[in-house]
Amino acid sequence: MNRDASLARKWRNLSLVFFLACGLTGCIAPVVKAPSGAQLDIYRKVYVVEPKEDPRGVGPRVSARLKRIGFQVVELQQGSTPTEMQGTGFVITPAGHVLTCAHLVGSLTNATTWIGGQRYPCTVLSADTNLDLAVLLVTGTHPPFVPLMIDSTNHYSLGQDAFSMGFPLAELLGKSPRLNKGMISATVGLDDDPKYVQFSAPVQPGNSGGPLLNEKCEVIGVIASTLNPMRVLAQSGGALPQNVNFAIKTDSIHDFLAAANIALPANGDEATVKSFDDAQKSLGLVRSGNVTEEDLKQRGVVCAYTYISLRGLRFRFRAVEVRFYDLKKGQLILKVGQYEDDPFSTEDGELDRICGEISDKFFPQNPNPFKHNQ
């Protein structure tokens, strides 16, 4: 009996040593799952989706590691979409002045627009972040553009026909303009703001900066914002708004252009747009910065993460998972996670191991910056 007890103690001690060695060297490796046939080395741009709650501040640590791996990282807040920095503009002078929303260009001094499928680099001449308007100027040689005419009456009637036109969800729908019909729902904006008009023509991410048109294809507003249905649903406890959208009125547009010293052509002075088919030729797909055709070929991926965190002697995850989805198809292409509580791990250590697996999958030809941590 004494001999058996002594052997049992030895086995327990050996097991404990083995367990400690495994824990301290991270032998509980991340679980990696990818659909068969998924080609991951074609993705270079990643949109990181912020979770509803991030008490441990994992988001910045994930983004920093993805940048080290080699991704071009775009961080998204809750409720925003990967097309947030892509929108619509429209030509307002034959010389190539393009009116759009200021939030599309941000603090950059240049932008890129595609008019009639042709790429044109632009400079940002003026931007008003309070009003959310910006005017761009196409640089280089180009043929004269046919501008959209901006209505000068600033008159809005309830029930008046209103048409939205632009490039909604271009990553999914494509780069052809889309037209939708609605009506003027209110002659004021959110919280009765007199600078805006409310309309019901459907809009999606990517419509921002586009024209709100009347039946004569005249601009009666610049599409600026929409109520986020899911946010209102959460705040109201059940209400789901539909097609509650807002456009900047023409008097504000004229004031902004006058302050920027931009003279608009008068009706009849130049070729004018007479139909919606003609109007689409005056629309521009707008992106901030100098975006090349090669940039457009990059496949995008959306990254989302969840975790359960514990506080002990050291902060650690009980479980953590990082998921990647193809931006266009919405399909899960990679899932990496740690699903077993490891009392000898740390959060940063787990993130290093997980990102090491991500690096191997997406950038197999590049040096792995986390290899020494695995």
Q: Show the tokens assigned to 237.
A: 């406890």
For residue 187, give both structure tokens.
């002659």
What was the pLDDT predicted at 235? 52
Neighbouring C-beta atoms of residue 37, cutoff 10 Å: 5
Per-residue pLDDT tens, the chain, 374 aa: give them: 444 444 444 444 434 333 333 333 344 567 887 776 678 888 888 989 888 889 899 999 999 999 999 998 888 766 555 554 689 999 999 999 999 999 998 888 999 999 998 999 999 999 999 999 999 999 988 888 999 999 988 899 999 999 999 998 877 777 889 999 999 999 998 889 999 999 999 998 889 999 999 999 999 999 998 875 545 444 545 555 568 899 999 999 999 999 999 999 876 555 678 899 999 999 999 998 888 877 776 778 899 999 998 876 678 898 999 999 988 777 899 999 998 888 888 999 999 999 999 999 999 999 999 986 44
183-192 CB contacts, 8 Å cutoff, 24+ apart: 183/158, 183/159, 184/156, 184/157, 184/158, 184/159, 184/160, 185/158, 185/244, 186/158, 187/156, 187/157, 187/158, 189/246, 190/225, 190/227, 190/246
Instruction: Report the predicted TM-score, pTM, of the whole model to 2 decimal places.
Output: 0.67
Note the pLDDT of residue 53.
Answer: 85
In the prediction, which pLDDT does 20 show? Answer: 36
Q: What is the pLDDT of residue 231?
A: 52
Query: What's residue 253's pLDDT?
Result: 96
- What confidence score (pLDDT) does residue 276 get? 93
Contact (CB, 8 A) for 112 and 239: no
From the CB of residue 33, how many other CB atoms can be counted at a distance below 10 Å? 11
pLDDT given at position 16: 39
Question: For position 355, what pLDDT does the model report?
Answer: 96
Q: Which domains are delineated in the chain? A: 25-79+297-373 (3.30.160), 86-291 (2.40.10.120)
pLDDT of residue 123: 96
